[in-house]
Amino acid sequence: MLALNNKEQAVYGNELKISLRTGFRLMSLLVFLGVFASMPCGAQEFQAETFPDNPLPVSDLDDEHLAYLGIDSKVQSFSAADIDADIVVVQVFSMYCPICQREAEAVNRMYHLKESRELDMVVRMIGIAPGNSAFEVGVFRDEYAISFPLFPDPDYQWHKILGEVGTPYFIVFSGRDAGVKWTHKGAFADPESFLDRVMHK
Amino acid sequence: MKYFFSVFVFIALSLPVSSLAVLEGIYHPPEKKPVDSELTVQVGDLAPDFTLPCICGEDISLSDFRGRKNVMLSFIPAAWTPVCSDQWPGYNIARHFFDQHDTIILGISVDNLPTLHAWVKAMGGLWFPVLSDFWPHGGLAGELGVLRADGTAERAVLLIDKSGKIVFIHVEDINKRPPLELLVNAMKLLP
């Protein structure tokens, strides 16, 4: 082993410290850049200014959900603009999506939080499940006791309409004119702050 | 103190963002020929016994379940691809259907163990064993006739009863996911 005198040890020690410090900073930067480089370029986002008026089937709704959305039971289908609300929150989800599974409780809490608060505007929530059959949507609903209406999209029609966004994905639009106010990709940490953002965007 | 801070920054940037990037940055293969193989077994046949390594660290044989459990072999083409990444996690919340029919899933792909291990962990874990059919490459998939020309497995399901007999086979379009109700209804065929 190389014997160093005190001065050499001090110099070597300082050089080593500088090397370690530089190394950590460089590695941190590389990880940071590498993570963003690994994300797909142009990751899908919903770009439209208004929520599409493509029909949603009434047959997927029970009486309670019809009343919740303010939809006439006599019609065969309805569009998002028909929902009787000031704000509509759409969750794009999948039974198969592990993030959606982990987040289901938080989404539910947000729904119930909304119902329990005295809000000065009417907020309604729906879910659309690309690639999920009615059976699969039912499994998700039962597993997490989801209270708001959920719509299967087995043939990915809505998936294409919404720009092939991933799951979970949230679209918040005005109930007056279907104008999109805000979109959010991925999980959200806190139902309270998410709801506050929905209300104030 | 500065070094601890650097380490903290390194770890803080690596972990939570990486886990999101892991699922976001997965490979999106082009659309493939729906089915590219020919089955060598049929309903009513005795399923060939096999032994494959599991990411759990053990070797698992089909015969381990003889007389005890019905077995659903769930083949997927490849780890870290979109349809596959959102197929098996769905079965996590459908476990009660399998339990009702005394059925265990064996998830199988031709990926190697480290790949499968990392992928399953990134998906948040699964309740059923995941086996590697990596070596001999696609040996089991080939024996059953669900190995594609490109070396991946079909998106196939084989249901085997407790006596070892195949009671249901389904080879799905590789670009799609077999609907859950298909699997649930298949289990109703079990004796």
- pLDDT of B62 reads 98
A107 within 8 A of A150, measured Cβ to Cβ: no
Least Cα distance to B66 among B47, B52, B53 occurs for: B47
- pLDDT of B30 reads 84
Contacts of A21 in chain B (CB under 8 A): 2-3, 6
Q: What is the mean pLDDT of chain A?
A: 81
Q: A101 vs B6: CB contact, 8 Å cut-off? A: no
- pLDDT of A20 reads 61
- pLDDT of A1 reads 44
Q: B10 vs A97: CB contact, 8 Å cut-off? A: no
Mean pLDDT of all residues in B176-190: 96
Mean pLDDT of all residues in B71-76: 98
Peptide bond into B16 cis (omega under 30): no
Mean pLDDT of all residues in B86-102: 95
Q: A17 vs B3: CB contact, 8 Å cut-off? A: yes
Q: How far is CA B100 from the centre of its chain?
A: 20
pLDDT tens-place string over residues A87-130: 999 999 999 999 999 999 999 988 888 777 777 789 999 999 99
Contacts of A101 in chain B (CB under 8 A): 89, 92-93, 124
Q: B93 vs A140: CB contact, 8 Å cut-off? A: yes
Contacts of A131 in chain B (CB under 8 A): 177
- pLDDT of B113 reads 98
Angle at which helices B113-122 and B2-24 pack, to 10 degrees? 100
Q: Which residue has the higher pLDDT, B126 or A39?
A: B126
Contacts of B118 in chain A (CB under 8 A): none
Q: B3 vs A21: CB contact, 8 Å cut-off? A: yes
Q: Which residue has the higher pLDDT, B18 or A63?
A: A63
pLDDT tens-place string over residues A133-184: 999 999 999 999 999 999 999 999 999 999 999 999 999 999 989 999 999 9
Residue B47 banded pLDDT, cuts 50, 70, 90: very high
Residue B117 banded pLDDT, cuts 50, 70, 90: very high
Residue B1 banded pLDDT, cuts 50, 70, 90: low
Q: From residue A41, how far is each of A38, A187, B17, B25 by CA, in Å?
A: 9, 20, 16, 9
What percent of chain B clears pLDDT 90, i.e. is strictly above it? 77
Query: Residue B120 and residue B110: Cα distance in Å, rounded?
Result: 14
Residue recorded with tokens 């797909």:
A40
Q: Is the pLDDT confidence value at A189 over 70?
A: yes
A109 within 8 A of A134, measured Cβ to Cβ: no
Q: Which of A38, A95, A136 sits opposite B25 (nearest CB)?
A: A38
Does residue A95 belong to the interface with chain B, where contact is any CB pair within 8 Å?
Answer: yes
- pLDDT of B13 reads 41
Mean pLDDT of all residues in B12-23: 39
Mean pLDDT of all residues in B161-188: 97
B92 within 8 A of B172, measured Cβ to Cβ: no
Q: Is the pLDDT confidence value at B8 over 70?
A: no
- pLDDT of B97 reads 98
Q: B124 vs A186: CB contact, 8 Å cut-off? A: no
B27 within 8 A of B141, measured Cβ to Cβ: no
Q: Is the pLDDT confidence value at A32 over 50?
A: no
CA-based nearest distance B43→chain A, Å: 26
Q: B6 vs A96: CB contact, 8 Å cut-off? A: no
CA dihedral angle for residue A60, residue A64, residue A69, residue A75, rounded to 10 degrees: 50
User: How many CB atoms neighbour CB A125 within 10 A?
Assistant: 27
Q: A136 vs B3: CB contact, 8 Å cut-off? A: no
- pLDDT of A81 reads 86
Q: Is the pLDDT confidence value at A26 over 60?
A: no
What percent of chain A clears pLDDT 90, i.e. is strictly above it? 52
CA-based nearest distance A125→chain B, Å: 23
Mean pLDDT of all residues in A51-65: 90
Identify the closest residue of chain B to A140 by CA–CA distance: B93
Is residue A32 classed as helix, strand or coil in its secondary structure? helix
Please list, in sequence order, all residues whose beta carbon lies within 8 angstroms of the beta carbon of residue A196, skipping any fewer than 6 positions away.
none
Q: Which of A35, A38, A139 sits opposite B180 (nearest CB)?
A: A139
Q: Which residue has the higher pLDDT, A40 or B184?
A: B184
Residue A195 banded pLDDT, cuts 50, 70, 90: confident
Is residue B84 part of the annotated active site? The answer reads yes
Q: Is the pLDDT confidence value at B125 over 90?
A: yes
Does residue A136 belong to the interface with chain B, where contact is any CB pair within 8 Å?
Answer: yes
Does residue A20 belong to the interface with chain B, where contact is any CB pair within 8 Å?
Answer: yes
Does residue A30 belong to the interface with chain B, where contact is any CB pair within 8 Å?
Answer: no
Mean pLDDT of all residues in B91-95: 97
Identify the closest residue of chain B to A38 by CA–CA distance: B25
pTM summary value: 0.81
**Which residue, among A19, A26, A35, would best test binding to B if mutated, counting the most B CBs under 10 Å from its CB?**
A35
B138 dihedral zone (left: phi>0; alpha: psi -120 to 50; beta) = left
- pLDDT of A192 reads 87
Query: Residue B71 and residue B56: Cα distance in Å, rounded?
Result: 18
By the 10 Å C-beta count (0-12 exposed, 13-18 middle, 19+ buried), B27 is classed as exposed
Q: Which residue has the higher pLDDT, B76 or A37?
A: B76
Contacts of A94 in chain B (CB under 8 A): 86, 90
Both ends of chain A: CA-CA distance in Å?
A: 66
Residue B7 banded pLDDT, cuts 50, 70, 90: very low
Residue B131 banded pLDDT, cuts 50, 70, 90: very high
Catalytic residue among B52, B71, B76, B84: B84
